[in-house]
Amino acid sequence: MKLSAAEKLRRFYHQFSGNDRVLVAINADPDAIASAMAVKRLLWRKVSGVTISNINVIKRPDNIEMVRLLGVKLIYMDETYKKQFDRCVIVDSQPNHHKSFARFSYDVVIDHHPETGTKYPFADIRPEYGATATIMTEYLRAAKIRPSAKLATGLFHAIKTDTRNFERQTLIEDINAFQFLFQHANIHLARKIEQADLRLDFLKYFQIALQNMRIRRGKVFVNLGYIINSDICVIIADFFMRICSVQWTIVSGLCDDKLILIFRNDGLRKNAGKMAKSGFGHIGSAGGHKSMARAEIPVADLNEVINYKDEKKLLQWIISEVEKKQKKPDINFKKKILGLKS
């Protein structure tokens, strides 16, 4: 029997008492951060205190800006102790998704990722939903709580991010939550968070990408060499997809003893997830969606295949894995992109 939002909220509240010190554990990204904010608001004046703790170091500029602009107080998981808390909650993830969650036993799990089968005192897991923020918005509405501008902005941004502006799996519930939050969110603040995807030290990688890119029949290949953050590959891949003639981007970089490969396409042709898996899944982890995918290969395994320290050879190997039948680069296409005369 499908439970109403009011009944789920009642069962959620039943897990807590007035003296409880509550930990909300997250793998910090927009959906997790906003959902944790919602849990804290739901438990305001109902428990002794709520602490939001992140298991990951936040590196993405937009996530850093989200935390700063929305005034979210986070404590890194390594700085917490089990005896500090009476109840533990996890949102937008499940305990066996990451080993760092194992330090605590969880009373409440709320998530939109596929269910792992573990049982908890209270669990609300809805993999058909586009975002956990949608679930939390339903809880807020059931509690008749009008979200503050900052909370509404966080949830609004989370739904946009996790549904990729409703391009990914989306339900009518996601749209309804989005419309409700739109009435209370600060849209200018949301836009500032969304556009904060660059750091000053990222700019040099654009120069590297433009100088070293290789073009093969509408596909842009870039190897950035050693990078300080794997998100740089994502930013560069998305940047090249904004060029009208580009159908694919494959951007790689070495970070944390792994080769990171980011795949993007226009969603009309081959499947990026299948390409990543078929080309690189046999030596690393790989997968994704039709228009976007990712592969990660430990350099220890990569060294058996190619000299990864030779950036030119590494890029050529990536190209050959993606396009084994391609023989010549499209020089004219490269000139079109750079605005060069023939």
Domain boundaries, the chain: 5-195, 201-338
Q: 2-6, 25-29, 129-133, 196-200: which has the minimum mean pLDDT?
A: 196-200
pLDDT digits over 258-278, tens only?
Answer: 999 999 998 776 788 889 998
C-alpha 316/C-alpha 55 separation (Å) is 37
- For the cut 80, the answer to whether the pLDDT of residue 85 exceeds it is yes
Dihedral angle sign, alpha carbons of residues 185, 61, 63, 292: positive
State the fold for domain 201-338. Answer: Diaminopimelate Epimerase; Chain A, domain 1 (3.10.310)
> Exposure of 223 by Cβ count < 10 A (0-12 exposed, 13-18 middle, 19+ buried)?
buried
Q: Are 246 and 240 in contact (CB under 8 A)?
A: yes
Q: Are 197 and 235 in contact (CB under 8 A)?
A: yes
C-alpha 228/C-alpha 205 separation (Å) is 10
State the fold for domain 5-195. Answer: inorganic pyrophosphatase (n-terminal core) (3.90.1640)
Mean pLDDT throughout 23-40?
Answer: 97
C-alpha 340/C-alpha 202 separation (Å) is 26
Phi/psi-derived region of residue 221, left when phi > 0, alpha when psi is between -120 and 50, beta in every other case: beta
Q: What share of the chain is helix, strand, coil (3-state, %, to 5)?
A: 45, 20, 40
Mean pLDDT throughout 54-75?
Answer: 94
Decide the pairing of beta strands 87-91 and 108-111.
parallel
- For the cut 90, the answer to whether the pLDDT of residue 152 exceeds it is yes
Give me the pLDDT at residue 326, please. 38
Give me the pLDDT at residue 336, please. 53
Dihedral angle sign, alpha carbons of residues 151, 153, 156, 162: negative
Percentage above 70 pLDDT, the chain? 94
- For the cut 80, the answer to whether the pLDDT of residue 185 exceeds it is yes
- Average pLDDT of every residue of the chain: 91
Q: 59-73, 137-151, 313-327: which has the minimum mean pLDDT?
A: 313-327
Work out the angle at residue 301's Cα, subtended by the Cα atoms of residues 298 and 303, and round it to the nearest 5 degrees: 105
